[in-house]
Amino acid sequence: MYHADRAIYSKEIICAVLDMCDILNIGFFDAEYPYVLPVNFGYEFKDDLTFYTHHAPTGYKNGLIEKNPKVCVVTHKFVDRRNSAGKLVHDYRSVMAFGEISVIDRDSAEYGKAWASLVACNGRSVPEAVFAPDFGVMMCKIFCPAKNVVGKAQYPVTLLEQVPFPDLD
């Protein structure tokens, strides 16, 4: 990693960065080029990091999941602004992880847990239709061992208080 001094490995800081982010980009293996899909997400970071996402039950990505469940995920928050001296300042926080994606069985307790996590991250409520038998959405989880998770920032972030973007002078 270029600028290894900006790497973030603290679970607490990574969670704070994830809490700032809205979209998770999932990179799938495809024939000639990677296939990247932006999705909203929920997560849980205990010993390892698990992302929860929802998808249509049919589509191109489903075939890719079946062929190779290994994925790379990336999320970020970026700001570009001018300080009081008029100088352009940019800053970012990001998390990247490698893991495996799998479909969650609709009849499992994990299905409801995944929805609860996803809507908590998005600030919405779970629609009652989610648990109806004919609701056409599948839930997936992306399991990422902690050793495959890293955050990064424009400037070194070593304390939880440094995660929010600082005010400009």
Q: How far is CA 162 from CA 35, 78, 153, in A?
A: 33, 15, 10
Tell me the C-alpha distance between 19 and 133, whole Å: 31
Tens digit of pLDDT for each residue in 28-83? Answer: 999 899 999 999 999 999 999 999 998 888 889 999 999 999 999 999 999 887 77
Report which of residues 33 and 137 the model is more confident about: 33
What confidence score (pLDDT) does residue 60 get?
A: 92
Q: Which helix (H) or strand (E) holds 53?
A: strand 49-55
pLDDT band at 129 (very low <50, low <70, confident <90, very high): low
94-121 pLDDT, tens digit per residue, is 999 999 999 998 888 898 888 888 888 8
CB-based burial, 50-59: b 16+ in 10 Å, e otherwise:
bbbbbbeeee
Instruction: Tell me the CB-side half-sphere exposure of residue 46, using CA atoms within 13 A.
Output: 1
CA distance linking residue 71 with residue 101, whole number of Å:
7
Q: What are 91's strand-pairing partners?
A: 79
4-155, which class in CATH?
A: mainly beta
